């Protein structure tokens, strides 16, 4: 048996394409296609339905994949046990996260992580743009979103609680909204990005309302929206951890606190794999240590291997 062909086939399934598998394994697309074809010839069955736009497992392919998944996982676990005390964990990680999350939280975690694992390097990009994890070769993507790419393994980490807020000066000039519908008579400062549509979803006590008040300013940066609100431009909705200092200093006042907004989550996504490289595992475990330290029971979804380390 050629285990290399088995691994390539598993990556095609997990990445959803020959191109994705090639990028994940660092080989050419032609090599991926040839190795899968050789596997099918030797097995005497078709494992994949191929179209110009997608791949789909045949019944035989699905059965085969589920069998090899366990075998490959066991092999990786055995290798990890064998090499854990012999090899230093090394490699590079490409990490992308929202600007504000990186500045206020992730920067310190990455610094401590790199001090703990000096043979690992990280290329970190802070951005609010839409990211193609597979195409760009990203190892870890942090987002503040409710959306999940089915091609990726994703975990909701913590809730990014949002509140509507405005400056005392703005509310003195325009009045304070009493019910969600009042927002339609106010000026909004809207966050709009690849994962945020700019509207506000608010529960009025009976139903969820989708409100889209007029906006003089639309921006893809949370800190920018916060600063514009402090200057009295209008009402905005930003995560509490971004605005907490301004709220404490009475530069911004929460409004409509009795009417909860639809909350978003901080999520972590990475390419699906049968087994995780050791550099992935230690990064995820280190991240969750920091999450438990800051959020405790507020941590939402926890990978099984982290739970097995008594983090619950």
What's the CATH code of the domain at 15?
1.10.10.10
Residues 54 and 73 occupy one common structural domain: yes
CA distance 287 to 282: 8
| pLDDT attached to residue 99 | 86
| pLDDT attached to residue 80 | 59
Residues 75 and 134 occupy one common structural domain: no
| Phi, psi values for residue 259, rounded to 5° | -120, 95
* Residue with token string 């979103």: 145
With b for 16 or more beta-carbon neighbours within 10 A and e for fewer, the 29-58 pattern comes to eeebbebbeebbeeeeeebbeeeeeebebe
- Distances, alpha carbon 64 to alpha carbons 31, 69, 192, 276, in Å: 21, 9, 44, 20
C-alpha neighbours within 13 Å on the C-beta side of residue 193: 18
Residues 230 and 107 occupy one common structural domain: no
| Phi, psi values for residue 17, rounded to 5° | -165, 160
Which domain does 100 fall in, by range?
Answer: 91-160+265-308
Domain boundary among 27, 57, 83: 83
96, 95, 97, 98: which is closest to 221 by C-alpha?
Answer: 98
Per-residue pLDDT of 197-251, as tens digits, reads 667 989 988 899 999 999 999 998 888 999 999 999 999 998 888 898 999 999 9
The residue-averaged pLDDT of 28-33 equals 86
| pTM over cut 0.85 | no
Average pLDDT, the chain: 86
Residues 25 and 52 occupy one common structural domain: yes
CA distance 74 to 71: 5
| Phi, psi values for residue 53, rounded to 5° | -115, -20
Nearest 5°: the CA angle 287, 290, 292 is: 110
Residues 230 and 197 occupy one common structural domain: yes
Residues 57 and 100 occupy one common structural domain: no
Residues 258 and 275 occupy one common structural domain: no
Domain boundary among 67, 83, 99: 83
Flag the least confident range among 16-25, 111-120, 204-213, 302-311.
302-311
Q: Whole-angstrom distance between the N-terminal and C-terminal Cα of the chain?
A: 41
Flag the least confident range among 91-100, 113-122, 129-138.
129-138
Residues 134 and 198 occupy one common structural domain: no
Domain boundary among 49, 83, 117: 83
Contact 60, 29 (CB under 8 A): no
- Distances, alpha carbon 273 to alpha carbons 32, 76, 135, 153, 264, in Å: 16, 11, 16, 8, 26
Residues 130 and 269 occupy one common structural domain: yes
Residue 10 has pLDDT above 90, yes or no: no
Flag the least confident range among 86-100, 113-127, 175-189, 243-257.
86-100
Residues 136 and 47 occupy one common structural domain: no
CA distance 63 to 119: 39
CATH of residue 281: 3.40.190.10
Per-residue pLDDT of 149-198, as tens digits, reads 788 899 999 988 889 999 999 999 999 999 999 999 999 999 876 556 66
Residues 140 and 280 occupy one common structural domain: yes
- Split into its structural domains, the chain has a count of 3
Residues 137 and 189 occupy one common structural domain: no
Token code pair at residue 100: 């504000």
Nearest 5°: the CA angle 201, 171, 237 is: 30
């Amino acid at each position: 048996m050629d285990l290399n062909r088995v691994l390539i086939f598993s990556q095609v399934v997990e990445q959803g394409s020959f191109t994705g598998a090639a990028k994940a394994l660092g080989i050419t697309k032609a090599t991926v296609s040839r190795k899968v074809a050789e596997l099918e010839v030797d097995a005497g069955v078709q494992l994949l339905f191929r179209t110009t736009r997608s791949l789909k497992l045949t019944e035989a392919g699905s059965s085969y994949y589920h069998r090899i998944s366990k075998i490959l996982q066991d092999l990786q676990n055995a290798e990890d046990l064998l090499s854990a005390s012999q090899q230093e964990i090394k490699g590079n990680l490409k990490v992308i996260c929202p600007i504000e999350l990186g500045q206020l939280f992730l920067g310190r975690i990455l610094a401590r992580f790199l001090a703990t694992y000096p043979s690992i390097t990280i290329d970190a990009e802070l951005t609010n743009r839409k990211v193609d994890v597979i195409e760009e070769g990203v190892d870890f993507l942090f987002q503040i979103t409710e959306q999940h790419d089915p091609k990726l393994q994703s975990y909701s980490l913590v809730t990014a609680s949002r509140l509507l807020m405005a400056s005392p000066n703005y509310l003195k000039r325009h009045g304070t909204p009493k019910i969600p519908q009042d927002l339609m008579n106010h000026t909004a400062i809207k966050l709009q990005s690849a994962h945020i549509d700019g509207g506000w979803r608010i529960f009025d006590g009976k139903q969820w309302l989708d409100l889209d008040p007029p906006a003089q300013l639309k921006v893809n940066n949370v800190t920018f929206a916060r600063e514009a609100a402090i200057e009295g431009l209008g009402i905005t909705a930003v995560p509490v951890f971004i605005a907490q200092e301004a709220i404490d200093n009475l530069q911004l006042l929460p409004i409509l606190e009795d009417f909860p907004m639809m909350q978003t989550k901080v999520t972590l996504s990475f390419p699906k794999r049968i087994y995780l490289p050791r550099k992935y595992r230690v990064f995820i475990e280190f991240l969750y240590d920091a999450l438990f330290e800051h959020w405790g029971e507020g941590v939402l979804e926890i990978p099984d291997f982290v739970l097995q380390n008594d983090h619950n």
